[in-house]
């Protein structure tokens, strides 16, 4: 069953998509955090949900639009709004969906935001965190791989710019400054390492695999390299392999 729902809290309306067999029987909920410029209706989330629900009973997958993404109504992206959205989704999972266990799957920008949330809140609210190509160097990724030279020039002149992939997102220099300052490579994750898995494609053209490997090694986090996979894992066989790793990890006691 697929159900669309809104989380309305503190003047916000978070657009969500829930995959589950029976909403009243959810015991384990996996929050799927999509990447920059993505949305809740992405195929990777759908395929992951199919795999997870087929292997884990009484499990659901909840995908939501980050601020300024998908059908979200906010106009300008801020890290503060991203943090608030994630917190409200976590609360909703426990308080409204009555999930006894909450895990997370994050990709690219979504993976970065999950790790940022854990560090800044000083606790891991998730049973397990599975990350695919997390942008541990998100500031540099934005500057070097997402933004155009024209974008950079406009920001330097104090202008706001539209950047992104599936949907363009409005950002300003303040957002970039805060993104650069919130560099998760500088933070320690030893206390959470046993509950984190990172998978990364060897041919990732957006997030350098070396950055993720170094981050994982520095924090003693399990790291799995998927040979010849690109950033979006467009090869469906490689995506299936990644999801198999993730489901096994998330389902591990």
Per-residue pLDDT reduced to its tens digit, 106-154: 999 999 999 999 999 999 999 999 999 999 999 999 999 999 999 999 9
* pTM for this predicted structure: 0.97
Contacts (Cβ under 8 Å, ≥6 apart) of 129: 103, 104, 105, 106, 114, 115, 118, 192, 195, 196, 197
pLDDT (average), residues 35-58: 95
Q: Confidence class of residue 232 from pLDDT cuts 50, 70 and 90?
A: very high
Q: What span, in angstroms and rounded, lies between the C-alpha atoms of 84 and 70?
A: 17
**CB contact at 8 A, 62 and 33:** no
Closest CA to 8 of 76, 69, 89: 89
Condensed to tens digits (0 to 9), the pLDDT of residues 237-248 reads: 999 999 999 999
pLDDT at 74 over 80: yes
pLDDT of residue 238: 97
pLDDT of residue 79: 98
pLDDT (average), residues 42-67: 96
pLDDT of residue 158: 92
pLDDT at 221 over 80: yes
pLDDT of residue 197: 98
pLDDT at 166 over 70: no
pLDDT at 167 over 80: no
pLDDT of residue 165: 72
Q: Confidence class of residue 29 from pLDDT cuts 50, 70 and 90?
A: very high
Question: Hey, what's the torsion of the CAs at 49, 55, 56, 58, to 10 degrees?
Answer: 70
Q: For the chain, what percent of residues have pLDDT higher than 70?
A: 100
pLDDT at 69 over 80: yes
Higher-confidence position of 235 and 167: 235
Helix (H) or strand (E) holding 43: helix 43-55
pLDDT of residue 99: 97
């Amino acid at each position: 069953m697929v159900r669309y729902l809104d989380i309305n809290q503190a003047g916000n309306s978070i657009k969500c998509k829930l995959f589950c067999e029976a909403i009243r029987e959810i015991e384990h909920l996996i929050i799927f955090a999509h990447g920059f410029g993505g949305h809740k209706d992405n195929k990777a989330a759908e395929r992951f949900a199919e795999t997870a629900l087929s292997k884990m009973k009484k499990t659901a997958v909840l995908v939501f639009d980050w601020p300024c993404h998908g059908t979200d109504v906010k106009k300008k992206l801020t890290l503060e709004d991203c943090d608030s959205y994630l917190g409200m989704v976590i609360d909703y999972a426990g308080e409204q969906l009555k999930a006894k266990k909450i895990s997370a799957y994050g990709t690219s920008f979504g993976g970065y935001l999950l790790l940022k949330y854990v560090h800044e809140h000083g606790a891991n609210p998730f049973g397990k965190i599975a990350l695919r190509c997390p942008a541990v160097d998100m500031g540099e990724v934005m500057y070097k791989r997402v933004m155009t030279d024209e974008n950079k020039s406009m920001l330097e002149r104090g202008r706001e710019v539209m950047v992104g992939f599936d949907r363009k997102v409005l950002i300003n220099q303040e957002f970039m400054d805060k993104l650069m300052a919130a560099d998760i490579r500088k933070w320690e994750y030893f206390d959470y390492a046993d509950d984190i898995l990172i998978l990364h494609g060897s041919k990732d053209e957006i997030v350098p695999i070396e950055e993720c490997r170094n981050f994982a090694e520095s924090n003693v986090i399990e790291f799995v390299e998927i040979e010849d996979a690109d950033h979006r894992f467009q090869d469906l066989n490689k995506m299936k392999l990644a999801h198999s790793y993730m489901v096994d990890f998330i389902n591990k006691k």
